[in-house]
């Protein structure tokens, strides 16, 4: 049974169609990279899944619920945590406050405060720099630290699926390495399902897993990251060779 | 000494009114980028909630006779309920509209409330005596300060302290601050949009009721236009404060109160009628030097 399933999902902005009838499904515990050039529609697809930009057509199911057109908070509460492009930290809130925002979604269940505290320590264990600066304003963090913060914040809600839009954007390669290292470790620890958007296939090939190539709003290729990454088809599809 | 003290208390109590008004506007602006021009009419509606509907010149007191410990919660609840109702009935439909559309909707709502009051109560100001014991003066260092002024200032300080504590220490406050900064991101973390927005409207409505109480006791009249002048100054205070910055709104409210009071004292008698023109002149000066407002919403620097 798949955790996330899209069928014929389209996203339109006025007359522009950013995502065209995309269909795929993702099993629990899987790691999927969606790669593709600028304007491929990757972010639009993620925003549709998270409920931020409702799809103009098709159907999205998550954790046995039809989430098509549902509000972002409802989708988040089902266990889908989204880290949007551009690291949206709450700049005027402290780091710890940033981390705590999402924990309120469990406030109806017993013992949620204790669990949030445990979760907080777990995030701090993964990203010690956040603990050192937990009372300072999040807006003052460096780009890499902010990326760690938003990933940590997404984990605080104890989600089943984390969708991350370009975690490496604007980061030095060694910082990106760190971020990925932590992500992979976390995934192993929690049997988390990951959906990661990146422009290039480099990371996907390093990490392994499943990879899809998106271009012009469509999914052109879908397969094993390492095998696909080395294939001629990938190059051709990415740059659009042989299309007229 | 005595008269200086008097000026200080005048400035503080006028500033309190503006600060409370500005907070009510900034709270809502923070979470939904709506400049709510109906706020002044909510203030007026709260005053009239103390009376029975009638077009007679003499006010027929309804809730106005309640003892203060019932009167205050009653009026705060009325303000909050009216404000939340305006969100559910009107503003919810404009969530995805652009800020100008929402602002126009708020003007329209303001007119509806005003003309509704006009229909029920007529346009004649009615005299009411609300908490009359508060108008006696108190002697402080040779200055005679009306008790009401002291209470106004004390209540405002208590409200500011309470609101700050609420926003900083409670779960709901945390969600509101997060939503004010980035609403979509907060929702992606499971923060319920409707709850946060209704909470902001409820707080804002309760603040409107607090202003209604103060204005009603100060002026001893109920007048359908009474919210409008506070609203204008409060709106200006939110702009000078930096739209959406709560601290800025409060600071600017007190600043405006101080400027207006000082102008009243130092302007030659002939020019006093034009006090507001001078106040607006000062506002323009502030905005020339700090177009983003005193404290811009995300800024951390403080400069006056
Ligand atoms: N809010 C919007 N309004 C109108 N058009 C949009 C909007 N967001 C994206 N688009 C358009 O939709 C198309 C897909 O954009 P999208 O951001 O999804 O691409 P992307 O694959 O994430 O690109 P990048 O790698 O540059 O982030 C682009 O043509 C873009 O201009
Ligand atoms: Mg993108």
Domain edges within chain B: 2-289
Taking the model in full, what pTM does it have?
Answer: 0.88
Top mutation candidate among A15, A19, A37, A42 for ligand 1, by most atoms within 8 Å of CB: A42
SS3 A137: strand
Q: Give dist(CA B156, CA B159) in Å, integer.
A: 5
Look at residue A26 and tell me whether its pLDDT is greater than 70.
yes
Instruction: Return the pLDDT at A150.
Output: 95
Beta-carbon contacts of B106 under 8 Å, excluding residues fewer than 6 positions away, are: B34, B35, B36, B37, B38, B91
3-state SS of chain B is CHHHHHHHHHHHHHHHHHHHHHHHHHHHHHHHCCCCCCHHHHHHHHHHCCECCCCCCCCCECHHHCCHHHHHHHHHHHHHHHHHHHHHHCHHHHCCCCHHHHHHHHHHHHHHHHHHHHHHHCCCCEECCCCHHHHCEEEECCEEEEHHHHHHHHHHHHHHHHHHHHHHHCHHHHHHHHHHHCHHHHHHCCCCHHHHHHHHHHHHHHHHHHHHHHHHHHHCEECCCHHHHHHHHHHHHHHHHCCCCHHHHHHHHHHHHHHHHHHHHHCCHHHHHHHHHHHHHHHHHHHHHCCCCCCCCCCCCCCC
Find the CB nearest B174 among A97, A139, A157. A97
Look at residue A83 and tell me whether its pLDDT is greater than 90.
yes
Q: Give dist(CA A59, CA A54) in Å, integer.
A: 10
Q: Give dist(CA A26, CA A23) in Å, integer.
A: 10
Residue A149 class from Cβ within 10 Å (0-12 exposed, 13-18 middle, 19+ buried)?
buried
Contact yes or no for B182 and A93 at CB 8 A: no
Instruction: State which residues have CB under 5 angstroms from ligand 2, the bound ion.
Output: A 43, 85
The pLDDT-based confidence of B297 (bands split at 50, 70, 90) is low
The pLDDT-based confidence of B302 (bands split at 50, 70, 90) is very low
* Mean pLDDT (whole number) for A193-222: 93
Residues of A in contact with B176 (CB under 8 A): none
Instruction: Return the pLDDT at B295.
Output: 79
Residue A203 class from Cβ within 10 Å (0-12 exposed, 13-18 middle, 19+ buried)?
buried
Instruction: Return the pLDDT at A233.
Output: 78
**Tally of domains within chain A:** 1
Contact yes or no for A77 and B190 at CB 8 A: yes
The helix (H) or strand (E) run that includes residue A25 is strand A16-27
Angle between helices B275-289 and B226-241 (to 10 degrees): 20
Q: What percent of chain B has pLDDT over 70?
A: 93
The pLDDT-based confidence of B300 (bands split at 50, 70, 90) is very low
Nearest chain A alpha carbon to B187? A73
CB-CB neighbours of A178 under 10 Å? 17
- Structural domain contains residue A227: yes
- pLDDT, averaged across chain A: 91
Least confident of A181-185, A189-193, B49-53: B49-53
Report which of residues A25 and B144 the model is more confident about.
A25
Closest CA to B122 of B220, B52, B43: B52
- In angstroms, how far is CA A174 from the centroid of its own chain? 20
Residues of A in contact with B298 (CB under 8 A): 91-92, 139
Q: Give dist(CA A206, CA B149) in Å, integer.
A: 70
The helix (H) or strand (E) run that includes residue A124 is helix A112-126
- Structural domain contains residue A225: yes
- In angstroms, how far is CA A153 from the centroid of its own chain? 12
Q: How far is CA A70 from CA A128, A162, A228, B145, B196, in A?
A: 35, 18, 34, 57, 18
Instruction: Return the pLDDT at B304.
Output: 27
Q: Give dist(CA A101, CA A88) in Å, integer.
A: 13
Q: Does B96 touch chain A (CB under 8 A)?
A: no
Identify the CATH number of the domain in which residue A110 sits: 3.40.50.300
Enclosing domain of residue A149 = 2-239
Residues of A in contact with B300 (CB under 8 A): 92, 137, 139
* Mean pLDDT (whole number) for B288-302: 65
Top mutation candidate among A11, A16, A17, A18 for ligand 1, by most atoms within 8 Å of CB: A18
What CATH code is assigned to B2-289? 1.10.3470
Angle (CA) B147 B153 B156, round 5° = 135
CB-CB neighbours of B250 under 10 Å? 27
Closest CA to B257 of B16, B6, B3, B2: B16
**Dihedral sign, Cα of residue A93, residue B168, residue B178, residue B204:** negative
pLDDT tens digits for B33-64? 899 999 999 999 998 888 877 767 666 777 76
Top mutation candidate among A39, A46, A49 for ligand 1, by most atoms within 8 Å of CB: A39
Q: How far is CA B286 from CA A127, A237, B249, B250, in A?
A: 44, 57, 14, 16
Nearest chain B alpha carbon to A74? B190
CA-based nearest distance B96→chain A, Å: 12
The pLDDT-based confidence of A86 (bands split at 50, 70, 90) is confident
Of the residues A50, A72, A91, A138, the best mutation for testing chain B's interface (the one with the most B CB atoms within 10 Å of its CB) is: A72
Beta-carbon contacts of B163 under 8 Å, excluding residues fewer than 6 positions away, are: B23, B203, B246
Name the β-bridge partners of A162.
Answer: A81, A194
Instruction: Return the pLDDT at B2.
Output: 67
Q: Give dist(CA A79, CA B252) in Å, integer.
A: 43
Flag whether the ipTM exceeds 0.90: yes
Instruction: Return the pLDDT at A137.
Output: 94
């Amino acid at each position: 049974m798949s955790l996330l399933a899209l069928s014929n999902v389209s996203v339109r902005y006025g007359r522009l169609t950013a995502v065209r009838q995309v269909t795929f499904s993702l099993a629990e515990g899987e790691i999927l990279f969606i790669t593709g050039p600028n304007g491929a529609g990757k972010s639009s697809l993620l925003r549709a899944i998270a409920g931020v930009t409702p799809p103009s057509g098709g159907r999205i199911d998550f954790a046995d619920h039809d989430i098509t057109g549902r509000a972002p908070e409802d989708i988040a509460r089902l266990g889908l945590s989204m880290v949007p492009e551009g690291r949206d930290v709450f700049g005027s809130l402290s780091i710890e406050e940033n981390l705590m925002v999402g924990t309120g979604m469990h406030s109806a269940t017993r013992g949620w405060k204790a669990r949030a505290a445990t979760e907080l320590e777990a995030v701090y264990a993964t990203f010690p720099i956040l603990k050192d600066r937990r009372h300072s304003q999040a807006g003052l963090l460096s780009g890499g630290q902010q990326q760690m913060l938003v990933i940590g914040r997404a984990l605080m809600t104890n989600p089943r699926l984390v969708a991350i839009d370009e975690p490496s954007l604007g980061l030095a390669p060694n910082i990106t390495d760190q971020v990925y290292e932590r992500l992979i470790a976390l995934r192993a620890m929690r049997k988390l399902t990951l959906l990661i958007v990146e422009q290039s296939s480099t990371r996907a090939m390093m990490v392994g897993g499943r990879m899809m190539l998106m271009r012009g709003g469509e999914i052109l290729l879908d397969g094993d990251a390492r095998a696909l990454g080395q294939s001629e088809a990938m190059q051709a599809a990415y740059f659009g060779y042989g299309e007229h | 000494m005595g008269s200086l003290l008097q000026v200080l208390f005048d400035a503080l109590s006028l500033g309190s009114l503006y600060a409370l008004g500005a907070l009510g506007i900034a709270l809502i602006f923070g979470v939904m980028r709506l400049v709510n021009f109906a706020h002044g009419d909510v203030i007026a509606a709260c005053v009239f909630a103390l009376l029975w509907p009638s077009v007679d010149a003499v006010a027929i007191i309804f809730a106005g006779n309640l003892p203060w410990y019932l009167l205050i919660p009653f009026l705060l609840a009325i303000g909050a309920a009216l404000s939340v109702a305006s969100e559910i009935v009107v503003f919810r439909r404009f969530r995805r509209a652009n800020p100008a559309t929402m602002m126009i909707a708020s003007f329209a709502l303001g007119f509806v409330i005003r003309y509704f009051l006009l229909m029920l109560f007529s346009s004649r100001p009615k005299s009411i005596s609300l908490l009359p014991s508060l108008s006696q003066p108190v002697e402080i260092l040779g200055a005679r300060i009306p008790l009401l002024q002291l209470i106004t200032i004390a209540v405002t300080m208590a409200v500011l302290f309470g609101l700050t504590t609420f926003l900083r220490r409670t779960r709901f406050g945390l969600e509101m601050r997060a939503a004010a900064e980035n609403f979509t991101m907060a929702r992606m973390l499971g923060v319920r949009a409707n709850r946060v927005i209704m909470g902001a409207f409820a707080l804002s409505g309760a603040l409107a009721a607090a202003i209604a109480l103060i204005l009603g006791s100060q002026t001893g009249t109920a007048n359908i236009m009474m919210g409008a002048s506070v609203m204008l100054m409060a709106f200006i205070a939110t702009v000078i404060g930096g739209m959406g910055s709560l601290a800025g709104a409060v600071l600017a409210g007190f600043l405006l109160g101080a400027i207006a009071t000082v102008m009243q004292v130092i302007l030659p008698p002939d020019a006093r009628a034009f006090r507001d023109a001078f106040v607006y002149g000062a506002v323009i000066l502030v905005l020339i030097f700090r177009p983003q407002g005193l404290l811009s919403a995300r800024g951390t620097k403080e400069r006056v």
